[in-house]
Every structure is written in structure tokens, then in C-alpha cells.
Amino acid sequence: MPTRVGFHATLRSIVGAKHVEVDLADGATVGDLVAHLVARWPELGESLLDASGALSRRVHVYVDGRSSRWLDGEMTVLPANATIDVIPAVAGG
């Protein structure tokens, strides 16, 4: 299924675009998406993955406006036509 993924902040410069289209199998998960993105743009690995290869706590993947952390994490199934956003965590004060 073609899926549109939006990138924010520093991730845009790595990917070179605000949005990209990726082809994923029906029933693909957030983990599948992250693996696909890192395979396509290996330099994203440093921003998206922690030392164990899991989704880093320093990045958030939103599925239809909801953080995957509050859904099923990396096992969150991506619905057809979902809006996906990948956003690095920011701090302020």
C-alpha cells in the first residue's frame, strides 16, 4: 500500500523532503515502516533507532495524529490511507 510519510525538523534534511511516499504491504506496522525508512535512508538509523535497534525514545511516529507509543508501539498496524508523521523529540524551557 502506498503510504505518505511526513518528516519534521532535522529529519527533513536527512530525507531531503517534507513528505515521501513509501510502498508497504497491507498490514504493515510502525516497525515495518521504520525498517523500510532506515533501509532507504541509512543515515536515519541514528535518529530513529536506539542501540538495541528498537525505535528510539528520541523520536515519535504519529499514526493519524496519535503517538504510536500510546497505541501498540512498533506493532501498531498502519491503516490504509493513514497520515504518518515522524517527529524528533524536542526540549525547551
Buried b (16+ CB within 10 A) or exposed e, 45-68: bebbbeeeeebbeebbbbbeeeeb
Q: What's the pTM value of the predicted model, to 2 decimals?
A: 0.92
Average pLDDT of the residues in 22-39:
96
User: What is the predicted pLDDT for the residue at 90?
Assistant: 78
Q: Could you tell me the residue ranges of all domains in the chain? A: 2-88
Lowest mean pLDDT among 20-24, 46-50, 77-81, 87-91: 87-91
User: What is the predicted pLDDT for the residue at 2?
Assistant: 84
**pLDDT band at residue 83, thresholds of 50, 70 and 90?**
very high
* Amino acid sitting at position 88: P
Quote the mean pLDDT of the chain.
Answer: 93
The fold adopted by the segment(s) 2-88 is Ubiquitin-like (UB roll) (3.10.20)
